[in-house]
Amino acid sequence: QSALTQPPSASGSPGQSVTISCTGTSSDVGGYNYVSWYQQHPGKAPKLMIYEVSKRPSGVPDRFSGSKSGNTASLTVSGLQAEDEADYYCSSYAGSNNFHVVFGGGTKLTVL
Amino acid sequence: QVQLQESGPGLVKPSQTLSLTCTVSGGSISSGSYYWSWIRQPAGKGLEWIGRIYTSGSTNYNPSLKSRVTISVDTSKNQFSLKLSSVTAADTAVYYCARGYSSSWYVWGQGTLVTVSS
């Protein structure tokens, strides 16, 4: 069982927007602004899409955005494209005395 | 452009020690304020952070694995390594090495499958 809770699946049609949630606790998501989101295509390594809740690394389209409210973080993909179909994982810093990171179980995003 | 490449045995017997190495190319492992991590993913499942090392040698480990994990760095070879002892079938996974700041990883290796089986 993963430390962070994500819906197993999400879907949307091309051009639509979809939001994926990531729920934790006050000891991880709610306690720190260190939530990241990763995109993973089958057989490939994860790719960082969002860090520190809402920041995008260079090269990531602005169609991807992140936010947080309380113990729940969200990833929104706007203007869905076929290549956005992938698994998405959230992660959060969870350390208090020692550095620790926890992940969500992943969400399979299907572009209909 | 920095690239990472994992290497090591693809098959490990139960109760033995899993050993993997990550070779860094395209840049020095000692440059920049980066942390070098190991992350694993069982087939069809989610990601699990194993641990990280700074080039100074300081380490942090996942509390659930801490008793079995050792991560080390060899700056002369531009490599860092993972040792996981007393492995069981539950340790079968694709193991990734990754580079990042704090709690986000920007550069990943392609991953290597390690199977624990007799």
Q: How far apart are CA A48 and CA A81, in angstroms?
A: 18
Query: A104 to chain B: which residues are within 8 Å by CB?
Result: 46
Across chain A, how many H-helices and E-strands are there?
Answer: 0, 9
If you measure CA to CA, which chain A residue comes closest to B43? A43
Which of A100, A103, A107, A108 is most worth mutating to test chain B (most B CB atoms within 10 A of its CB)?
A: A100
Condensed to tens digits (0 to 9), the pLDDT of residues A5-61 reads: 999 999 999 999 999 999 999 999 999 999 999 999 999 999 999 999 999 999 999
Overall residue count recorded for chain B in this entry = 118
Q: Any CB–CB contact under 8 A between B111 and chain A?
A: yes
At residue B32's C-alpha, the angle toward residues B2 and A29, to 5°, is 90
Instruction: Tell if the CB–CB gap between A100 and B63 is shorter than 8 Å.
Output: yes
Under 8 Å CB-to-CB from A29, ≥6 apart: which residues?
A4, A22, A23, A35, A68, A71, A72, A73, A92
From the list B94, B97, B100, B93, the residue with the least C-alpha distance to B82 is: B97
**Per-residue model confidence (pLDDT) at position B22:** 98
If you measure CA to CA, which chain B residue comes closest to A1? B46
Answer yes or no: are the C-beta atoms of A91 and A74 closer than 8 Å: no
**Per-residue model confidence (pLDDT) at position A50:** 98
Structure tokens at B46: 């989610």
pLDDT band at A1 (very low <50, low <70, confident <90, very high): low
Q: Any CB–CB contact under 8 A between B52 and chain A?
A: yes
Q: How far apart are CA B39 and CA A68, in angstroms?
A: 24
**Per-residue model confidence (pLDDT) at position A97:** 79
Other beta carbons within 10 Å of A109: 20
User: Which residue type sits at A58?
Assistant: S
**Per-residue model confidence (pLDDT) at position B31:** 87
**Per-residue model confidence (pLDDT) at position B64:** 94
Which of A100, A101, A108 is most worth mutating to test chain B (most B CB atoms within 10 A of its CB)?
A: A101
In chain A, at which residue ranges do the beta strands (DSSP E only) sit? 9-12, 18-23, 35-40, 47-50, 64-69, 72-77, 86-93, 101-103, 107-111
pLDDT of chain B along its 118 residues, tens only? 999 999 999 999 999 999 999 999 999 999 888 999 999 999 999 999 999 999 888 999 999 999 999 999 999 999 999 999 999 999 999 999 999 988 899 999 999 999 999 9
